[in-house]
Amino acid sequence: MAKNRENCIILLVDPPEADKISPELRTAFGPERAAHVNSDLISAAYKLAKDFRDAILILSYAKTSRHPDLTWLDPEDPGFLEVKSHNHEGRLQDALQLAFFTGAKKAVLISHLSPELRSEWLYQAFDSVNDKTVAIGANQDGSYYLVGLTQQNLKIFEVPGFSHGKSAETLSERAKKNKLSVVNTPETYAITGEDTLLKWMENRESASPLFQPPQTEAQRQETKKPHRRHAKNHENPAPSAGDSTL
């Protein structure tokens, strides 16, 4: 299905190298482990954004000699916006300018550090955003994991300091000062240390598998049979025991 080019998701990507990871993650996990954790988080965020059917994706990436492209993230090499400013806020602004210059009407920034982000929250953000409304998703620590806006509302990023500390609150206050409404997507958490990392890992283990094991021929035939209770109304048959999630 074709992407909706009026919607754009922006994701900042760091190469899987210890010295390129944020100081916060290096402090929490140590340089080498932080690089692995960060790569896992980026891969999860990239998959979510890539699979989102109703928006194009812009990846902001600071390439290095060891990782000059994004084949380490996706064998198909999705391409990227090469970083000019290595400052986090400068990268976001450059990506937003590109998004709107190439025809996007709405843009949503997402953070890879918040692994519980869901596609329905992205839809909520895109549906809510207009020239008088911004969307902001907050983490439990007060940082943001999502910001949705139009080109008209770039003013909330004009003054530096919007990405540090309780950034969700900072952006909400800036929006309100500019007479903008704020729609909040559900609260979640960011990976900041061992506790939140463990929480994410436990959630991943308890989640349903992405792919079901192949069905046997008997299971496929059983699935096709209408359930007696629903046969009259031609409703979908109830799943058989062989279709339960493992």
List, for residues 65-78, the tens digit of each pLDDT value.
999 999 999 999 89
Rg (CA), the chain: 21
Same domain, 111 and 192: yes
Q: Residue 102 has what pLDDT?
A: 93
Same domain, 60 and 130: yes
Same domain, 164 and 200: yes
Instruction: Examine residue 77 and state whether it is found in any structural domain, yes or no.
Output: yes
Q: Residue 207 has what pLDDT?
A: 59
- Extract the tokens encoding 107: 């843009």
- Extract the tokens encoding 53: 């059917």
Q: Residue 220 has what pLDDT?
A: 45
In sequence order, the 6+-apart residues with CB closer than 8 A to the CB of 179 are 132
Instruction: Examine residue 211 and state whether it is found in any structural domain, yes or no.
Output: no
Same domain, 174 and 112: yes
Interstrand relation of 144-149 and 106-110 (parallel, antiparallel or unpaired): antiparallel
Lowest mean pLDDT among 10-19, 80-89, 135-144: 80-89
pLDDT above 80 for 126: yes
- Distance in angstroms (rounded) separating the CA atoms of residues 51 and 46: 8
Instruction: Examine residue 1 and state whether it is found in any structural domain, yes or no.
Output: no
Q: Which domain holds residue 65?
A: 7-206
**Phi and psi angles of residue 194, each rounded to the nearest 5 degrees, phi first:** -60, -40
Q: In this predicted model, what pLDDT tens digit does every residue of 25-71 receive, in sequence order? A: 999 999 999 999 999 999 999 999 999 999 999 999 989 999 999 99
Q: In this predicted model, what pLDDT tens digit does every residue of 194-233 receive, in sequence order? A: 999 999 999 887 754 433 344 444 544 554 444 443 444 4
Same domain, 163 and 240: no
CATH number, domain with residue 116: 3.90.550.10
- Distance in angstroms (rounded) separating the CA atoms of residues 180 and 172: 9
Q: Residue 215 has what pLDDT?
A: 44
List residues bridging with 110 in a β-sheet: 11, 146
Same domain, 23 and 50: yes
Count of the separate structural domains present in the chain = 2
In this structure, are residues 136 and 171 in contact, taking their beta carbons and an 8 Å threshold?
Answer: yes
Same domain, 136 and 43: yes
Instruction: Examine residue 109 and state whether it is found in any structural domain, yes or no.
Output: yes
pLDDT above 60 for 119: yes
Q: Residue 100 has what pLDDT?
A: 96
In this structure, are residues 100 and 93 in contact, taking their beta carbons and an 8 Å threshold?
Answer: no
Instruction: Examine residue 170 and state whether it is found in any structural domain, yes or no.
Output: yes
Instruction: Examine residue 30 and state whether it is found in any structural domain, yes or no.
Output: yes
Same domain, 243 and 168: no
Same domain, 16 and 107: yes
Same domain, 114 and 185: yes
Q: Residue 162 has what pLDDT?
A: 84
Same domain, 150 and 186: yes
Same domain, 246 and 154: no
Q: Residue 3 has what pLDDT?
A: 78
Q: Residue 28 has what pLDDT?
A: 94
- Distance in angstroms (rounded) separating the CA atoms of residues 45 and 113: 8
- Residue with structure tokens 């994701």? 11
